[in-house]
Structure 1
Amino acid sequence: MKKQHAFALSALAALLVAGCASGPSTADLDKMAADVVKASFRDQGIVKVSAIAPEDINEACTAADVAGKPIDPDLANKLQDAQLKSIKWPADGKYLGDWKAGEKLAQSGRGLTWTDSANTANGGNCYNCHQMDPKEISFGTIGPSLTGYGHTRGVIADPTSPASKAIIEYTWGKIWNAKAYNACSVMPRAVHKGIITEAQAKDLMALLLDPKSPVNN
């Protein structure tokens, strides 16, 4: 592994030096970067190299970011449609679990490290990006505030209306696979990528939409 890593780094360095005269192509740099990643990472514990395997949607968003412009709208829609198909809707038709369990999940950022066992419960780490409970003093601002989520979207006032049904389904889909609604979203594809389970997703749904949840009080 060390020899492969050293070889990849040496080759990349040589290519970059040669580039001073001729300039390496983007394809050359991409190949060398892929070789470095392949030589540097390995399966260990519950962490698998497949987690960083290239995907069309990530590569397209990275290319747009490097170019300094938004992703092509038609391409974004195509990629989002593919992600939307990955969402599994509750077989029992029930979207809400236990908001108390959802709060614990939202507060926890642990899990998915190579020292964890396969049965280690992962956290949702929601507060790392969102304000949720208005009384919480520690939260991130990468994502929008979710305080009063159920109230501001009318779900608590009339949970059976068509508008509320649409919000509930959107919220479920967003938790399951955020890229189904925004191709270049930085929000983790929580259930799609195995970060949390379907049952845990229901608990987060309750945290956002249950009238007794601190999010809505």
Structure 2
Amino acid sequence: MNEPSTRRTGAVALVAVLAIGATAVAADKKKKDYRAAAVEVMKASFQSKGQASVDRLNQDEVQTTCSQYNASKPVPRALAKKLQEAQLATIQYPADGKFLGSWENGEKIAQTGVGKQFSDDPSKPAGGNCYACHQLSAKELSYGTIGPTLYQYGRLRGNSEPILKYTWGKLWNSQAFNACSDMPRFGHQGILTEEQLKDVMALLLDPESPVNK
């Protein structure tokens, strides 16, 4: 092949590479435009009512980041580690150093999804609605399977200090251990109070809890 022909081939290849790059950039911009348009549509479609206000559509930094990924496009490992470290720093452990409350109250919290809706009384505590995603007790006939089974959680793991802290942290902010987790950040977002979290902890770890029978 002579020199002019080689140059033409190289030029064509360069143009092709640039075209592919430009197409990728344009596609990425289009996705961002679609995302922004979708947010505007949601904000225009919803109205604040009671405690359910439109500001719930506003995402914090980790939510904004996680919205860019999904099952087919997982979060890069380095970014996931960075997100988890930032969320780990948000965990607040019990002020009195006691992790376990009443498993009986914890069972009630796990069974109710009341709270945070516009029709709920904001002066009353919210529920955890744990059974919507997990199996906890063998006696429950209906439960969700989005999350793993928690049946015999404490019986299998014990109640050492590391387990207590891990379980509390998972309830407080699940994204501290699994970046972009779908599990609600019960403590971090103020869904459950410290006392309620202790009760849920007891449900999971108390040997007398139906979870561990």
Q: TM-score range by the shorter chain?
A: 0.7 to 0.9
Are 2:61 and 1:56 aligned?
yes
Name 1:38's counterpart in structure 2.
43
1:156-201 deviations in Å (ceiling 9; x for gaps): xxxxxxxx21111000000011111111211111121122111100
CA separation in 1, counterparts of 2:124 and 2:95?
25
Are 2:79 and 1:75 aligned?
yes
CA separation in 2, counterparts of 1:171 and 1:51?
27
Q: Which runs of 4+ in 1 moved over 3 A?
A: none
Whichever residue aligns with residue 153 of structure 1, its letter is R
Once the two structures are TM-superposed, the CA of residue 41 in structure 1 deviates from its matched residue by: 2.5
Paired residue total: 187
Contact 2:114 2:120 in 1 (8 A): no
Cα-Cα RMSD: 1.8
Are 2:83 and 1:87 aligned?
no
Q: 1:1-217 residue pairs with structure 2 within 5 A?
A: 25-65=30-70, 68-155=72-159, 164-217=160-213
Give identity over the alignment, percent.
50
CA separation in 2, counterparts of 1:208 and 1:44?
35
CA separation in 1, counterparts of 2:164 and 2:57?
31
Contact 2:115 2:122 in 1 (8 A): no
TM-score normalised by length of structure 2? 0.82
CA separation in 2, counterparts of 1:117 and 1:136?
27
CA separation in 2, counterparts of 1:207 and 1:75?
33
Whichever residue aligns with residue 190 of structure 2, its letter is G
Any gaps of 5 or more consecutive residues in structure 1?
1-21, 156-163
CA separation in 1, counterparts of 2:32 and 2:183?
28
Whichever residue aligns with residue 174 of structure 2, its letter is A
Contact 2:110 2:129 in 1 (8 A): yes
SS of the residue aligned with 1:134?
Answer: coil
TM-score normalised by length of structure 1? 0.80
1:138-166 deviations in Å (ceiling 9; x for gaps): 111111111111110132xxxxxxxx211
